[in-house]
Amino acid sequence: MTRGDGQTAGAAYAISAYLLWGLLPLYFLLLSPTGPWELVAWRVVLSLVFCALLLTVTRGWKALGLIIRQPKLLGLTALAGVLIYINWQVFVIGTLNGQVVETSLGYFINPITTVLLGVFVLRERIRVAQWAAIGIAAVAVVVIVVVYGSFPWIALSLTASFGVYGLIKKKIGPAVDAVSGLTLESLWLIPIAVLQLILVAVTPAGITMGQNGVWHAVLLGLAGVATAVPLLLFAAGTRRIDLTLIGMIQFITPIMQFLLGVVVLGEAMPPARWVGFILVWVAIAVFVVDMLLAARRGRRAQRPELV
Protein backbone atom coordinates (compact mmCIF):
# COMPACT_ATOMS: atom_id res chain seq x y z
CA MET A 1 0.00 0.00 0.00
CA THR A 2 1.39 3.41 -0.98
CA ARG A 3 1.46 6.37 1.38
CA GLY A 4 -1.39 7.95 -0.60
CA ASP A 5 -3.50 4.79 -0.28
CA GLY A 6 -2.74 4.66 3.44
CA GLN A 7 -3.77 8.29 3.87
CA THR A 8 -7.04 7.65 2.01
CA ALA A 9 -7.81 4.55 4.06
CA GLY A 10 -6.90 6.37 7.28
CA ALA A 11 -9.20 9.27 6.47
CA ALA A 12 -12.02 6.82 5.66
CA TYR A 13 -11.55 5.01 8.99
CA ALA A 14 -11.48 8.26 10.98
CA ILE A 15 -14.51 9.75 9.19
CA SER A 16 -16.43 6.52 9.78
CA ALA A 17 -15.61 6.65 13.50
CA TYR A 18 -16.77 10.25 13.90
CA LEU A 19 -19.93 9.62 11.86
CA LEU A 20 -20.84 6.70 14.13
CA TRP A 21 -20.16 8.79 17.25
CA GLY A 22 -22.37 11.51 15.78
CA LEU A 23 -25.24 9.03 15.44
CA LEU A 24 -24.93 7.64 18.98
CA PRO A 25 -27.63 9.95 20.46
CA LEU A 26 -30.23 8.50 18.05
CA TYR A 27 -29.15 4.96 18.94
CA PHE A 28 -29.45 5.64 22.68
CA LEU A 29 -32.89 7.23 22.23
CA LEU A 30 -34.06 4.10 20.39
CA LEU A 31 -33.30 2.11 23.56
CA SER A 32 -36.12 3.72 25.56
CA PRO A 33 -37.32 2.83 28.22
CA THR A 34 -33.78 1.78 29.25
CA GLY A 35 -32.40 4.44 31.60
CA PRO A 36 -28.88 5.92 31.60
CA TRP A 37 -27.51 3.85 34.50
CA GLU A 38 -28.66 0.51 33.09
CA LEU A 39 -27.57 1.49 29.58
CA VAL A 40 -24.00 2.35 30.58
CA ALA A 41 -23.78 -0.83 32.69
CA TRP A 42 -24.71 -2.96 29.65
CA ARG A 43 -22.34 -0.89 27.54
CA VAL A 44 -19.45 -1.85 29.84
CA VAL A 45 -20.38 -5.53 30.11
CA LEU A 46 -21.07 -6.02 26.41
CA SER A 47 -17.95 -4.08 25.38
CA LEU A 48 -15.90 -6.55 27.40
CA VAL A 49 -17.67 -9.49 25.74
CA PHE A 50 -17.14 -8.02 22.26
CA CYS A 51 -13.47 -7.27 22.96
CA ALA A 52 -12.92 -10.81 24.25
CA LEU A 53 -14.34 -12.16 20.99
CA LEU A 54 -12.06 -9.83 19.00
CA LEU A 55 -9.01 -10.94 20.99
CA THR A 56 -9.90 -14.55 20.25
CA VAL A 57 -10.40 -13.97 16.53
CA THR A 58 -7.26 -11.83 16.14
CA ARG A 59 -5.20 -13.98 18.55
CA GLY A 60 -4.51 -10.96 20.71
CA TRP A 61 -4.52 -12.67 24.13
CA LYS A 62 -0.72 -12.86 24.14
CA ALA A 63 -0.41 -9.09 23.70
CA LEU A 64 -2.91 -8.60 26.52
CA GLY A 65 -0.88 -10.92 28.74
CA LEU A 66 2.25 -8.81 28.18
CA ILE A 67 0.37 -5.67 29.26
CA ILE A 68 -0.98 -7.35 32.41
CA ARG A 69 2.60 -8.07 33.53
CA GLN A 70 3.38 -4.32 33.63
CA PRO A 71 1.87 -2.69 36.77
CA LYS A 72 2.37 0.87 35.50
CA LEU A 73 0.47 0.17 32.29
CA LEU A 74 -2.27 -1.59 34.25
CA GLY A 75 -2.65 1.44 36.50
CA LEU A 76 -2.91 3.76 33.52
CA THR A 77 -5.58 1.57 31.89
CA ALA A 78 -7.53 1.64 35.15
CA LEU A 79 -7.38 5.45 35.20
CA ALA A 80 -8.40 5.53 31.53
CA GLY A 81 -11.32 3.23 32.38
CA VAL A 82 -12.60 5.58 35.11
CA LEU A 83 -12.37 8.58 32.78
CA ILE A 84 -14.15 6.89 29.88
CA TYR A 85 -16.83 5.66 32.32
CA ILE A 86 -17.47 9.26 33.43
CA ASN A 87 -17.62 10.32 29.79
CA TRP A 88 -20.05 7.56 28.82
CA GLN A 89 -22.31 8.12 31.82
CA VAL A 90 -22.52 11.90 31.44
CA PHE A 91 -23.08 11.60 27.68
CA VAL A 92 -25.94 9.11 28.09
CA ILE A 93 -27.53 11.16 30.89
CA GLY A 94 -27.38 14.26 28.69
CA THR A 95 -28.78 12.44 25.65
CA LEU A 96 -31.69 10.78 27.46
CA ASN A 97 -32.59 14.01 29.28
CA GLY A 98 -32.98 16.14 26.16
CA GLN A 99 -29.58 17.86 26.30
CA VAL A 100 -27.96 16.64 23.09
CA VAL A 101 -27.04 20.23 22.14
CA GLU A 102 -25.04 20.59 25.35
CA THR A 103 -23.22 17.31 24.68
CA SER A 104 -22.22 18.75 21.29
CA LEU A 105 -20.82 21.83 23.07
CA GLY A 106 -18.51 19.57 25.08
CA TYR A 107 -17.05 18.01 21.95
CA PHE A 108 -16.76 21.37 20.18
CA ILE A 109 -14.61 22.60 23.08
CA ASN A 110 -12.60 19.36 23.35
CA PRO A 111 -9.72 20.31 20.97
CA ILE A 112 -9.16 23.51 22.95
CA THR A 113 -9.24 21.52 26.20
CA THR A 114 -6.57 19.22 24.76
CA VAL A 115 -4.34 22.23 24.07
CA LEU A 116 -4.83 23.48 27.66
CA LEU A 117 -3.86 20.08 29.04
CA GLY A 118 -0.75 20.18 26.88
CA VAL A 119 0.20 23.53 28.40
CA PHE A 120 -0.47 22.77 32.07
CA VAL A 121 0.35 19.06 32.22
CA LEU A 122 2.95 18.47 29.50
CA ARG A 123 4.45 21.99 29.73
CA GLU A 124 4.03 22.53 26.01
CA ARG A 125 4.37 26.00 24.51
CA ILE A 126 1.50 27.20 22.35
CA ARG A 127 1.10 29.94 19.78
CA VAL A 128 -0.63 33.31 20.26
CA ALA A 129 -3.59 32.28 18.08
CA GLN A 130 -4.14 29.20 20.27
CA TRP A 131 -4.24 31.42 23.38
CA ALA A 132 -6.77 33.62 21.56
CA ALA A 133 -8.96 30.57 20.83
CA ILE A 134 -8.79 29.51 24.49
CA GLY A 135 -9.77 33.03 25.60
CA ILE A 136 -12.75 33.20 23.23
CA ALA A 137 -13.94 29.74 24.36
CA ALA A 138 -13.68 30.84 28.01
CA VAL A 139 -15.80 33.92 27.25
CA ALA A 140 -18.36 31.64 25.57
CA VAL A 141 -18.69 29.51 28.72
CA VAL A 142 -19.09 32.67 30.86
CA VAL A 143 -21.82 33.94 28.50
CA ILE A 144 -23.70 30.64 28.74
CA VAL A 145 -23.41 30.62 32.56
CA VAL A 146 -24.23 34.29 33.20
CA VAL A 147 -26.57 35.31 30.37
CA TYR A 148 -28.26 31.98 29.64
CA GLY A 149 -28.33 31.25 33.34
CA SER A 150 -27.29 27.61 33.19
CA PHE A 151 -23.96 26.06 34.14
CA PRO A 152 -22.96 23.72 31.27
CA TRP A 153 -21.84 20.88 33.55
CA ILE A 154 -22.55 18.22 30.94
CA ALA A 155 -20.40 19.94 28.30
CA LEU A 156 -17.54 20.68 30.70
CA SER A 157 -17.62 17.17 32.20
CA LEU A 158 -17.50 15.61 28.74
CA THR A 159 -14.62 17.75 27.51
CA ALA A 160 -12.63 17.33 30.74
CA SER A 161 -13.07 13.55 30.95
CA PHE A 162 -12.37 12.91 27.27
CA GLY A 163 -9.48 15.37 27.23
CA VAL A 164 -7.71 13.70 30.15
CA TYR A 165 -8.60 10.27 28.70
CA GLY A 166 -6.79 11.28 25.51
CA LEU A 167 -3.82 12.44 27.57
CA ILE A 168 -3.63 9.06 29.32
CA LYS A 169 -3.90 7.22 26.00
CA LYS A 170 -1.08 9.35 24.63
CA LYS A 171 1.05 8.47 27.67
CA ILE A 172 0.34 4.77 27.15
CA GLY A 173 1.22 5.18 23.47
CA PRO A 174 1.87 2.15 21.26
CA ALA A 175 2.50 -0.08 24.29
CA VAL A 176 -1.24 -0.87 24.46
CA ASP A 177 -3.16 -1.65 21.26
CA ALA A 178 -6.76 -0.48 20.83
CA VAL A 179 -8.48 -3.81 21.53
CA SER A 180 -6.34 -4.68 24.57
CA GLY A 181 -6.80 -1.15 25.93
CA LEU A 182 -10.59 -1.22 25.65
CA THR A 183 -10.65 -4.76 27.07
CA LEU A 184 -8.77 -3.70 30.20
CA GLU A 185 -10.73 -0.47 30.59
CA SER A 186 -14.01 -2.43 30.42
CA LEU A 187 -12.67 -5.09 32.79
CA TRP A 188 -11.83 -2.50 35.46
CA LEU A 189 -15.39 -1.14 35.19
CA ILE A 190 -17.18 -4.48 35.59
CA PRO A 191 -17.70 -4.05 39.40
CA ILE A 192 -19.31 -0.63 38.80
CA ALA A 193 -21.49 -2.05 36.02
CA VAL A 194 -22.64 -5.00 38.16
CA LEU A 195 -23.44 -2.67 41.06
CA GLN A 196 -25.46 -0.40 38.77
CA LEU A 197 -27.44 -3.35 37.39
CA ILE A 198 -28.21 -4.55 40.94
CA LEU A 199 -29.39 -1.07 41.98
CA VAL A 200 -31.51 -0.71 38.84
CA ALA A 201 -33.01 -4.17 39.43
CA VAL A 202 -34.40 -3.15 42.84
CA THR A 203 -36.06 0.02 41.51
CA PRO A 204 -39.76 -0.06 40.50
CA ALA A 205 -38.82 0.10 36.79
CA GLY A 206 -36.37 -2.81 37.09
CA ILE A 207 -34.07 -4.19 34.40
CA THR A 208 -35.40 -3.56 30.88
CA MET A 209 -33.22 -6.12 29.05
CA GLY A 210 -35.55 -8.78 27.64
CA GLN A 211 -38.68 -7.05 28.95
CA ASN A 212 -39.57 -4.91 25.92
CA GLY A 213 -39.63 -7.26 22.96
CA VAL A 214 -37.04 -8.88 20.73
CA TRP A 215 -36.16 -5.71 18.77
CA HIS A 216 -35.35 -3.78 21.95
CA ALA A 217 -33.27 -6.68 23.31
CA VAL A 218 -31.28 -6.92 20.06
CA LEU A 219 -30.61 -3.18 19.99
CA LEU A 220 -29.52 -3.14 23.63
CA GLY A 221 -27.39 -6.23 23.01
CA LEU A 222 -25.48 -4.31 20.34
CA ALA A 223 -24.31 -1.71 22.88
CA GLY A 224 -20.88 -3.34 23.04
CA VAL A 225 -20.48 -3.25 19.26
CA ALA A 226 -21.66 0.37 19.13
CA THR A 227 -19.02 1.24 21.72
CA ALA A 228 -16.06 -0.71 20.37
CA VAL A 229 -16.35 -0.31 16.59
CA PRO A 230 -15.91 3.50 16.46
CA LEU A 231 -12.96 3.30 18.88
CA LEU A 232 -11.27 0.66 16.71
CA LEU A 233 -11.92 2.65 13.51
CA PHE A 234 -10.51 5.74 15.22
CA ALA A 235 -7.37 3.84 16.24
CA ALA A 236 -6.92 2.53 12.68
CA GLY A 237 -7.34 6.03 11.28
CA THR A 238 -4.94 7.82 13.62
CA ARG A 239 -2.15 5.37 12.74
CA ARG A 240 -2.39 6.33 9.07
CA ILE A 241 -3.06 10.08 8.87
CA ASP A 242 -1.62 13.28 10.33
CA LEU A 243 -3.00 14.78 13.51
CA THR A 244 -3.83 17.94 11.56
CA LEU A 245 -6.34 16.00 9.47
CA ILE A 246 -7.72 14.30 12.58
CA GLY A 247 -8.14 17.75 14.08
CA MET A 248 -10.33 18.74 11.13
CA ILE A 249 -12.33 15.51 10.97
CA GLN A 250 -13.18 15.45 14.68
CA PHE A 251 -15.69 18.31 14.27
CA ILE A 252 -18.00 15.95 12.35
CA THR A 253 -19.33 14.53 15.63
CA PRO A 254 -20.34 17.74 17.45
CA ILE A 255 -21.80 19.22 14.25
CA MET A 256 -23.99 16.12 13.81
CA GLN A 257 -25.00 16.16 17.47
CA PHE A 258 -25.84 19.86 17.35
CA LEU A 259 -28.03 19.40 14.26
CA LEU A 260 -29.72 16.37 15.82
CA GLY A 261 -30.50 18.35 18.96
CA VAL A 262 -31.80 21.49 17.22
CA VAL A 263 -33.34 20.19 13.98
CA VAL A 264 -34.46 16.64 14.79
CA LEU A 265 -35.16 16.76 18.53
CA GLY A 266 -36.24 20.41 18.67
CA GLU A 267 -34.17 21.45 21.68
CA ALA A 268 -34.46 25.11 22.71
CA MET A 269 -31.86 27.60 21.44
CA PRO A 270 -32.68 31.00 22.95
CA PRO A 271 -30.59 34.03 21.82
CA ALA A 272 -28.17 33.88 24.77
CA ARG A 273 -27.36 30.26 24.00
CA TRP A 274 -26.80 31.10 20.33
CA VAL A 275 -24.32 33.80 21.40
CA GLY A 276 -22.38 31.26 23.46
CA PHE A 277 -22.26 28.74 20.62
CA ILE A 278 -21.28 31.36 18.04
CA LEU A 279 -18.38 32.42 20.27
CA VAL A 280 -17.31 28.75 20.53
CA TRP A 281 -17.43 28.44 16.73
CA VAL A 282 -15.31 31.59 16.37
CA ALA A 283 -12.77 30.06 18.77
CA ILE A 284 -12.78 26.87 16.70
CA ALA A 285 -12.27 28.85 13.48
CA VAL A 286 -9.24 30.59 15.00
CA PHE A 287 -7.94 27.22 16.23
CA VAL A 288 -8.38 25.45 12.87
CA VAL A 289 -6.89 28.28 10.77
CA ASP A 290 -3.85 28.43 13.07
CA MET A 291 -3.49 24.64 12.85
CA LEU A 292 -3.59 24.70 9.04
CA LEU A 293 -1.07 27.54 8.83
CA ALA A 294 1.28 25.74 11.23
CA ALA A 295 1.01 22.54 9.16
CA ARG A 296 1.81 24.52 5.97
CA ARG A 297 4.85 26.12 7.60
CA GLY A 298 6.00 22.68 8.75
CA ARG A 299 5.76 21.27 5.21
CA ARG A 300 7.72 24.22 3.81
CA ALA A 301 10.44 23.74 6.42
CA GLN A 302 10.79 20.07 5.41
CA ARG A 303 11.26 20.79 1.70
CA PRO A 304 14.88 20.47 0.55
CA GLU A 305 16.40 23.72 -0.62
CA LEU A 306 17.31 23.95 -4.33
CA VAL A 307 21.04 24.37 -4.91
The reported pLDDT for the residue numbered 305 is 52
Residue 118 domain-assigned (yes or no): yes
The reported pLDDT for the residue numbered 222 is 94
Residue 230 domain-assigned (yes or no): yes
Residue 307 domain-assigned (yes or no): no
Residue 221 domain-assigned (yes or no): yes
Peptide bond into 33 cis (omega under 30): yes
Q: Which of 176, 191, 162 is nearest to 45 (CA)?
A: 191
* Domain range for 36: 3-299
Q: What are the φ/ψ torsions at residue 96 (nearest 5 degrees)?
A: -80, -10
Residue 191 domain-assigned (yes or no): yes
How long is the chain? 307
pLDDT in tens, the chain (307 residues): 565 566 788 888 889 999 999 999 999 999 999 999 999 999 999 999 999 999 999 898 999 999 999 999 999 999 999 999 999 999 999 999 999 999 999 998 888 887 888 788 877 787 888 888 888 888 988 888 887 677 889 999 999 998 898 888 878 877 888 889 889 999 999 999 999 999 999 999 899 998 999 999 999 999 999 988 998 888 778 777 766 677 678 889 999 999 999 999 999 888 888 998 999 999 888 888 887 887 777 767 666 554 4
Pairwise CA distance, residues 143 & 36, whole Å: 29
Contact 273, 279 (CB under 8 A): no
Q: What is the DSSP string of the chain?
A: --HHHHHHHHHHHHHHHHHHHHHHHHHHHHTTT--HHHHHHHHHHHHHHHHHHHHHHHT-HHHHHHHHT-HHHHHHHHHHHHHHHHHHHHHHHHHHTT-HHHHHHHHHHHHHHHHHHHHHTS-----HHHHHHHHHHHHHHHHHHHTS----HHHHHHHHHHHHHHHHHHHHGGGS-HHHHHHHHHHHHHHHHHHHHHHHHTSSS---TTSSHHHHHHHHHTHHHHHHHHHHHHHHHHTTS-HHHHHHHTTHHHHHHHHIIIIIS-----HHHHHHHHHHHHHHHHHHHHHHHHHHHHHHHHSPPP-
Instruction: Tally the domains of the chain.
Output: 1
The reported pLDDT for the residue numbered 213 is 92
pTM of the model: 0.88
Residue 306 domain-assigned (yes or no): no
Which conformational region is residue 167 in: left (phi greater than 0), alpha (psi within -120 to 50 degrees), or beta?
A: alpha
The reported pLDDT for the residue numbered 151 is 85
Residue 254 domain-assigned (yes or no): yes
Q: What is the DSSP string of 196-225?
A: HHHHHHTSSS---TTSSHHHHHHHHHTHHH
Residue 304 domain-assigned (yes or no): no
Residue 119 burial by Cβ neighbours in a 10 Å radius (0-12, 13-18, 19+): middle
